[in-house]
Structure 1
Amino acid sequence: MRYSIYFSHPQTAELTRLGNQWLGRSAFSNDKLQQPTLKDVGGERLYNLTEDARRYGFHATMKPPFQLAEDKTQEDVKSALKDLARKTAPFSLEGLAPNLLGKFLALTPTAKSQQLVDLAARCIKEFDHLRAPLNDKDIERRRKANLTPEQDSYMLEWGYPYIFEHFHFHMTLSKRLENETERKALKAAAQDHFKPVINQPFPISHLALCIEPEAGAPFQIIEITPLEGTAG
């Protein structure tokens, strides 16, 4: 079993509803959902393009998946999440919009947010005492990605290379899109599908605890907690 800390709005929120529909699955209920009918992307193709993202569920990762240290329990993770939420004030981004990260389509912020970067860094640090060290196989797998020396150092110390200044908040909408025409068509479709919630002030108001029950299984959100701190 692996655990992860996600950003997600509650199950009933409009963003969550639209994201779950796009991927064809709810990470809250684990139910399969009917995906939208898109103008220039067929239904079978959309299903294939969202396969990987569907397993992880609609979210943005704040603390990447980790196995528990031997002396830690799920209740320890829940307690750490509640503690972080009590100390953290909600805040807003300028907005989200569909954009390409390399060849992946994702919802990303329309402007930089230091508050968001700081929250992600806190999630990395404040849950790390719960994490089991990476094994040799995990380290070897990560190093196949041609990490920089700094990323390699982060991976060894914190379990994941793309953190701190390498962090990019994103809510994944597709796998790699190798065809430029398809990239443009899917981005346009996402702009239309997510129109009710993009390009407007966007609250970062909740964090969620997610589990992968066994290797390769769909990730499931088992608890979502509102940020309840006060702005300093």
Structure 2
Amino acid sequence: MVSEMPSREYVQSARRDNLCVCQPRYAIYYTTFANHPLTVAAENWFGRSAFEQRGKNAAERPDAVIGEPRRYGFHATLKAPFRLAAGTSIEDLETDLDAFASTTRPCPIGRLRIGVLAGFFVPAQKILGVATFASRIVETFDCFRAPFDASELCRRDIGGLDEAETEQLVRWGYPYVFESFRFHMTLTNRIAEHQRPSLEAELRNHFGTIVDEDYAIDALTLFEQQNPEADFFVRRRFTLNPGVRF
């Protein structure tokens, strides 16, 4: 799944243009349903709900700790944020998501574990079946994704990406797809090593045994961001079909 485009050079040259994009972005995420204990715990952690179009509550934790994941809302990425491609519409995307969900079984995840991934605290799990499921989402819905423009590329930090990940960023809109994918639900910004022990204890106390549930991707959740400065909110949830045979 490698692009022939010289992607690192492409990203760097695009940064010199830095155009403005004000179109909505959409993302296909996994999240537990609105009133699930994991959702509620995450909302209390962030001080906002992605399921409700209202202002943030006063957060106990500073933006330096939770600013970025709070803006995106609690989720696991299946198809990273994208603008709609020319000739497509949000109604078309929702129709295809509906059709996909009706013919697709839930995907088992299992228990989650709070740990550190690339400096970020996450509940995570590494299961081959989840990676395969996520790869289907990436490929199936890529026809709806507009290619990155200069302003989007210039906001991406490619310094920590290897060549394959940089190529995947340009080709698929996200560096961590296919073999690079790992299921995770981000809870913090990147945290300095000396700050991690106390924060890990706080997270384990906050989420307790909620992460021990036998989780499954039982729905695809379509998130929407109205403009680059806005928070992401849930637009619609598409329940998968447990009656579909293997």
TM-score over 0.5 (shorter chain): yes
Equivalent residues of 1:28, 1:221 under 8 A apart? yes
Give the letter aligned to residue 172 of structure 2. W
Q: Partners of 2:90 and 2:71 in 1: how far apart?
A: 21
- TM-score, scaled relative to structure 1: 0.87
**Identical columns (%):** 32
Unpaired runs of 5+ in structure 1? 36-42
Contact 2:158 2:166 (C-alpha < 8 Å) held by counterparts? no
1:152-167 matches, within 5 Å, as 152-167=166-181
The answer to whether the aligner puts 1:225 opposite 2:207 as a matched pair is no
Structure 2 counterpart of 1:134, from 148, 173, 192: 148
Q: SS at the partner of 2:220?
A: strand
State the alpha-carbon separation in 1 of the partners of residues 153 and 120 from structure 2: 24
- Contact 1:50-1:175 at 8 Å conserved across structures: yes
Contact 2:107 2:133 in 1 (8 A): no
* Residue equivalent to 1:38: none
Question: Is 1:51 matched with 2:67?
Answer: yes
Partner of residue 9, structure 2: none
Provide closer, same or farther for how the CA distance between residues 172 and 157 of structure 1 changes in structure 2, counting only shifts above 3 A: same
Q: For residue 139 of structure 1, report the CA deviation from its aligned partner.
A: 4.1
Query: Alignment partner for residue 43 of structure 2, among 20, 40, 46?
Result: 20
Which of 208, 223, 226 in structure 2 is aligned with 1:195?
Answer: 208
Equivalent pair of 1:80/1:126 in contact (CA under 8 Å):
no
Q: Distance in 2 between matches of 1:216 and 1:137?
A: 13
**Which secondary structure does the structure 1 equivalent of 2:175 belong to?**
coil
| TM-score, length basis structure 2 | 0.82
Aligned partner letter, 1:49: V
SS in 1 for 2:199: helix
In angstroms, what is the RMSD of aligned CA positions? 1.9
Structure 2 unaligned residues grouped into runs of 5+: 1-23
Residues 151 and 97 of structure 1: CA distance in aligned 2, closer, same or farther (over 3 Å): same
Q: Which whole-Å CA distance do the structure 2 matches of 1:146 and 1:18 have between them?
A: 31
The answer on whether the counterparts of 2:135 and 2:178 sit within 8 Å (CA) in structure 1 is yes
2:132 maps to a residue whose letter is: D
CA distance in 1, matches of 2:152, 2:165: 14
| Mapped partners of 1:50, 1:153: distance in 2 | 28
Q: 1:138 to 1:44 in 2, by over 3 A?
A: closer
- Whole-angstrom distance in 2 between the partners of 1:134 and 1:121: 20
Residues matched between the structures, number: 221
